[in-house]
Amino acid sequence: MSHELLMIARAWHFAAERHSTQKRKGSAGEPYVNHLAEVAELVAFATDGADANLVAAAVLHDAIEDTKTSHAELATLFNKDIADLVAEVTDDKGLPKGRRKEPQVEKASSKSSRAKILKLADKTSNLRSLAKSPPADWSETRRKEYVAWAKQVAEGLRGSNDWIEARFDEAAAIVSRVLNLKTNPAPKLRRQKKG
């Protein structure tokens, strides 16, 4: 068995344990690992399966941010490259919740090309979820604000991988269409009287 396959299997085991009690914010309450699976698949396709460390980082990308996992632990259990990639896409928990989005826009263009692929895959998955299963407590305005913010982040991430950029653009178009349909429903057709 290849070392890379074993590493990705270990990453899945670790992530499944650490995120076992977490659910997505969407109204369907999907298991959180569904998001990790989608991000990992997007990264694998974007890189043609040629970057096992990046796929493992995709599986683990929310471990530092959303679980009791440290950079040092990931470096010890996996390797420094994976731990560094995860850290590069992790929000600063020291900032107030309302201010964590600003640095994502400001720092997007300075990320490594591999972290840009990972971040775009994450944003793509989030937009797909917003289209299919939006959080029940999110107003239409909040959903639209999220899409606008995600597009701002994505602008700084461009130039790393055409394939993942196209998937992001597709997801943004779909969620925007869904939101516009909810805001501006199609007019009801009036029946013509038989004359």
What are the residue numbers of the active site? 65-66
Q: Work out the angle at residue 39's Cα, subtended by the Cα atoms of residues 144 and 18, and round it to the nearest 5 degrees.
A: 105
Q: Among candidates 48, 109, 59, 124, which has minimal Cα distance to 85?
A: 59
Rounded CA separation 112/100 (Å)? 20
Contact 152, 105 (CB under 8 A): yes
Rounded CA separation 66/89 (Å)? 12
Beta bridge partners of 23: 31
Q: DSSP letters of 63-76? A: HHHHSS--HHHHHH
Contact 29, 21 (CB under 8 A): no
Beta bridge partners of 31: 23
Q: DSSP letters of 97-166? A: GGGSHHHHHHHGGGS-HHHHHHHHHHHHHHHHHHHHS--TT--HHHHHHHHHHHHHHHHHHTTS-HHHHH
